[in-house]
C-alpha cells in the first residue's frame, strides 16, 4: 500500500484539564471514503478540529501527504489541501450563497478552475444555483448543509472533512447529500466523514473507525462493520 494521504499517530487532545482524545491512530488512503462513527461526545468533532488546526494536539502527530501539519495554523492547512464542512454547517448567514462559495475558494487564484467547480457544485446541488443571490441565512437546514459541503469543495481540497452532514436534516435530504458525497468521491476527492448516523455512513464508506470516549474501539471495512452484531446493537438499532 502507498503512504496514506492522512495519517494520525497516537493523537492526544485536551480542553484544559479535559482529556478528550486518548491516543488515536487513524489512516486515510487517497481515494477512500473513511467514516468515523461515535455517539455524542465521543470526540469526533475534536478530531476533525485538530486535523484542521483549530485545536492543537497535546501530543502525537498528524501527517498530510507525509508532511506534519499539527503545528500549522488552520488557514495554512486549507492551503495544504484539507477543507472542512463543519458541524452545524456554519454557513455565513449574511453572505449570499454565491459569496459563501467565493469564501470557500478564498485562497484560489485559478479563475477557470473556480468557475468549473462552481458549475459542478450547482449541478450537484441545483438549489444553490437557483438561489445564488439569496442570503445563506434564509436557506433551510438541508440546503445550508449542501452549501457547506459545496463551499468546502470550492477550496479544491485533496481531503474533504465532513462533520455530521446528516445532523438535523430531513431523511430525504440526507439521502441526496450522501449520494452527492459519493459523487464527489468518485470524481477524485478523498473523504473523511464523521457521523452518528452509522447506517447511512457505513453504506457509502470504504472503511470505518468507531470512536468511543476518545478512543478507537473498532475499525475495519465498512461492509464488515455493517454486519457486526455489536455495531448493530449500539448504532444501528437492531
Ligand X SMILES: Nc1ncnc2c1ncn2[C@@H]1O[C@H](COP(=O)(O)OP(=O)(O)O)[C@@H](O)[C@H]1O
Residues that bind another protein (CB under 8 A): 49, 52-54, 73-75, 78-79, 83-84, 86, 88, 90, 92-95, 99, 102-104, 106-107, 151-152, 155
Site for Mg ion in 18-47 (CB under 5 A): 44-45
Report how many residues bind ligand X under the rule CB under 6 A: 11
111-124 vs 141-153: helix crossing angle, rounded to 10: 150
Between 93 and 221, whose beta carbon lies closer to another protein? 93
What distances in angstroms separate CA 22 from CA 17, 148, 217, one per listed residue? 13, 29, 11
Q: How far apart are CA 179 and CA 110, in angstroms?
A: 28
What distances in angstroms separate CA 60 from CA 26, 66, 219, one per listed residue? 12, 14, 20
Q: How far apart are CA 18 and CA 46, in angstroms?
A: 12
Asked if 87 is part of the footprint of Mg ion (rule: CB under 5 A), the reply reads yes
**Nearest distance from C-beta of residue 223 to another protein, angstroms:** 32
Between 87 and 219, whose beta carbon lies closer to Mg ion? 87
**Nearest distance from C-beta of residue 176 to another protein, angstroms:** 23
Asked if 145 is part of the footprint of Mg ion (rule: CB under 5 A), the reply reads no
What phi and psi values does residue 169 have, to the nearest 5 degrees?
A: -125, 145
List of residues contacting ligand X (CB under 6 A): 15, 18, 20, 38, 40-46
Amino acid at each position: 500500500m502507498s503512504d496514506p494521504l492522512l495519517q494520525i499517530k497516537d493523537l492526544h487532545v485536551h480542553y484544559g484539564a479535559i482529556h478528550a482524545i486518548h491516543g488515536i491512530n487513524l489512516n486515510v488512503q487517497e481515494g477512500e471514503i473513511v467514516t468515523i462513527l461515535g455517539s455524542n461526545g465521543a470526540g469526533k468533532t475534536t478530531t476533525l478540529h485538530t486535523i484542521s488546526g483549530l485545536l492543537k494536539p497535546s501530543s502525537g502527530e498528524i501527517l498530510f501527504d507525509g508532511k506534519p501539519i499539527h503545528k500549522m495554523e488552520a488557514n495554512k492547512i486549507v492551503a495544504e489541501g484539507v477543507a472542512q464542512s463543519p458541524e452545524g454547517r456554519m454557513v455565513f448567514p449574511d453572505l449570499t450563497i454565491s459569496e459563501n462559495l467565493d469564501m470557500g475558494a478564498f485562497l484560489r487564484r485559478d479563475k477557470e478552475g473556480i468557475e468549473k467547480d462552481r458549475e459542478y457544485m450547482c449541478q450537484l446541488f441545483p438549489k444553490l444555483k437557483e438561489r445564488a443571490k439569496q442570503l445563506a441565512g434564509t436557506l433551510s437546514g438541508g440546503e445550508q448543509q449542501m452549501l457547506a459541503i459545496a463551499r468546502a469543495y470550492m477550496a479544491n481540497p485533496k481531503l474533504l472533512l465532513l462533520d455530521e452532514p446528516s445532523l438535523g436534516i430531513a431523511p430525504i435530504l440526507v439521502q441526496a447529500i450522501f449520494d452527492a458525497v459519493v459523487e464527489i468521491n468518485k470524481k477524485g476527492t478523498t473523504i473523511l466523514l464523521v457521523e452518528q448516523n452509522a447506517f447511512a455512513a457505513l453504506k457509502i464508506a470504504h472503511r470505518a473507525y468507531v470512536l468511543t470516549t476518545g478512543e478507537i474501539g473498532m475499525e475495519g471495512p465498512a461492509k464488515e462493520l455493517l454486519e457486526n452484531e455489536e455495531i448493530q446493537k449500539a448504532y444501528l438499532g437492531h
